[in-house]
Amino acid sequence: MKSKQSGITLIGFLIVMVVVGFFGFTAMKLVPSYSEYMGVVRAMKEISSSGTNGKSLDEIRRELMFKMNFQYVDDSTIKPSNITIDRNSGGASTLHVVYDKKIPFMYNIDFLLHFDKSVPLQGNVGQ
């Protein structure tokens, strides 16, 4: 009586491990950038909810950069020029942060991540 064997061969197992390793390596490279982005979003929401009556753009930038330090956002990631305030015709203001992050992957392959977030501001923003 013959028994039929089932399972994965050594070569099949190695192929599965290579695929899992590749995606694990990719996640190790990308997850910190998305975690940092979540810190940027949290800091922006704190600024939005605290109110901005009479504050200038420079004051809002300074306060946002200060709050991002508590969220472990690297100073080299977001420059003050990446932070803008947009005003619509109704007089409402929006805090807008746009930045790109280049992450070396392997050899001459890099990831370029583009982050863009806007939150409405409460209160009147000064000049």
Strand order in the sheet with 109-120: 83-87, 93-106, 109-120
Q: What is the pLDDT of residues 24-58, one digit of tens each?
A: 999 999 999 999 999 999 999 988 888 777 778 88
| Model confidence, pTM | 0.80
Q: What is the pLDDT of residues 87-121, one digit of tens each?
A: 877 777 888 999 999 999 889 999 999 999 999 88
Residue with tokens 């192929």: 15
What is the rounded distance in angstroms from the CA atom of residue 8 to the CA atom of residue 16?
A: 10
pLDDT for residue 2 is more than 60: yes
Specify the pLDDT at position 13: 93
Q: Residue 98 forms beta bridges with which residues?
A: 116
pLDDT for residue 79 is more than 70: yes
